Amino acid sequence: MKTLLSTYLHELHIPFTRSYADKLFAEHPHRYNLYGLSDMLSVYKIENAGIQVEDKDLRELASPFVAHVSNDFVVVRQMSDQAVDYVWREKEISVPVDEFKKLWSGIALVAEPGESSREPEYEKHRKTAFFNSVQKIGVIMILVVLLILGSWEHHLFSSVTGGFLLFINLAGVGVSFLLLLKQGKVQSEYTDKICSLFKQGDCNSVLESDAAKLWGMFSWSEIGLGYFISSLTLVVFYPQWMPYLMLVNLLSLPYTGWSVWYQYKVAKQWCPLCLSVLLLLWMTAVVNVFGQWRLPTFEMQDMLFVAILYLLPFLALHLLSERWFRSEQLENVKYELNNLKALDSVFLSQLELQPHYKVNPATSQIVWGCPQARLRITVLTNPHCNPCAQMHKRIGALLKEMGDKVCVQYIFSSFNKELEKSARFLLAVYQQENYERVEAIYNDWFAGKKYLGETYILTFDYDLESVEVNRELSKHKEWQLENRLTATPTVLINGYQLPDSYKIEDMRHFGDLNIN
């Protein structure tokens, strides 16, 4: 299902990938308010602002924009003197202007993309999404080719019975898969449409009941999908064992009667998807009776093979669906955790439990961002430390996102005396170059030039033994000795050590927070 963020980015014609945008939206602690959406748009470098429109005069706005409508948010695509067209949860709706004004609170979020407005690392994400799509299409094509070859080999296309069974089991795989999605609470437009066919239709009431699982472990949707996959495999590739399919189908029919009774008498709700599966089971039985009904030979080897054929897909589905649904539930857990962590009171309470170290502007002159910012992030880093290199990249992204709301301060450490020259080099670069040049050299160093060491340093002509370099390096050593810190990178937030439950990226929510 398309999120509000993805829908708005699409209307703004911003280069983005669904996977990144949906993940950003799913995990953002304020995804259900305009502040959160504004913050997410800032990740894409899109200038935006929330406004209150007096008298709900739509002429003051240019589409597309996000509007607060009936306690929810919609993306207004276009407007005319007669109607307003907007998107709400993937549904395209058009209403008269007067009716829209009755629903609209007058609050809107407007955005103005610029030339640099795009997804961070868009090309990388686009390639990943492309290859993922190719893999999915490739798997589907391989399965289709196998089905066609198997059907052709065993003359299913020229057999009425074989053709019907092929169609029924393909339909069964599709319906059972939708049923599995519904039971796993995975959003799907198709399942929602099918489940709303009946006036008293409610798939959730049936699928969330105690009877929806066999022995409280195996869901009927998993059993159904496993059954149809096994039956389809048997029909296409092992038609010699078709009598066993007929027998298994016959044994499944009593379940259909119980399922109808349970929905009618106990749940008092109908599940259209469940009823579709039951109908397909009876269609299979009818084809078997009027087609080529015969009893199996009950040879031990054949029985064992058929048993494995029916058990293996079902058990594999059970394990895979558990992991799949757990990952879906994990998205909600991440959102709830991020929502909790983003509360100022929670962050401050966690921060004040951490060790505090004395830091101030005089501690180190190696600063990035705005020196006057309320939020000061001090990083004890090492020029040759790989985690420090990763931290430098992450801090660079944070600085671009937060702008003048953060100040980042570096304190350099060295593994040993021999490698101290690297710290001197970075200090000299900062003192003797302009900001853009400093940023470029630091990025190159931490991106890989650090492995070249002195070879790379000698390509420049900086004075590594200047009075300023010696004085700054001494300050860094004294601070580290005084505070007895050796682990790198160590991140401090206004002097407090960053709590383990927080990442440097989480600081983007606290740029305006007063930290004592």
Q: Model confidence at 200, in pLDDT bands (50, 70, 90)? A: low
Residues of the chain above pLDDT 70, percent:
94
Distances (CA, A) of 467 to 417, 429, 438, 484: 19, 14, 19, 26
Between 292 and 213, whose confidence is greater? 213
Whether the bond into 254 is cis, omega within 30 of 0: no
pLDDT of residue 504: 94
* Residues 330, 334, 336: CA angle, nearest 5 degrees: 115
- Looking at the DSSP assignment, which residues form a beta bridge with residue 376? 407
Reduced 3-state DSSP string for 257-274 = HHHHHHHHHHHCCECHHH
Average confidence (pLDDT) over 130-144: 92
CB atoms within 10 A of CB 308: 11
In the numeric block, the tokens 């038609």 are attached to: 239
User: Given pLDDT bands bounded at 50, 70 and 90, which one contains residue 65?
Assistant: very high
Q: Is the pLDDT of residue 358 over 70?
A: yes
Strand partners, 91: 88
CA-CA-CA-CA torsion sign (313, 315, 320, 325): positive
Average pLDDT over residues 428-446: 94
Q: How far apart are CA 207 and CA 186, in angstroms?
A: 13
Q: What is the mean pLDDT of residues 187-211?
A: 66
CATH code linked to domain 4-113: 3.90.70.10
How buried is 221 (Cβ within 10 angstroms: 0-12 exposed, 13-18 middle, 19+ buried)?
A: buried
pLDDT recorded at residue 187: 65
Q: Of all helices (H) and strands (E), which one includes residue 498?
A: none
**Location of structure tokens 């699409």:** 10
Question: DSSP 3-state assignment of 94?
Answer: strand
- pLDDT tens per residue, range 228-287: 999 999 888 888 888 888 888 888 899 889 988 888 888 778 888 888 889 999 999 888
Rounded to whole angstroms, how far apart are CA atoms 395 and 367?
12
| Average pLDDT of the chain to the nearest whole number | 88
What is the topology classification, in CATH, of domain 355-509? Glutaredoxin (3.40.30)
Burial of 4 (0-12, 13-18, 19+ CB in 10 A): buried
Q: What is the CATH number of domain 155-328?
A: 1.20.1440.130
| Phi-psi label, residue 448: left if phi above 0, alpha if psi -120 to 50, beta otherwise | left
Q: What is the per-residue DSSP string for 406-421?
A: EEEEEEE--SSGGGHH
Rounded Cα distance between 201 and 182, Å, is 14
Domain boundaries, the chain: 4-113, 155-328, 355-509
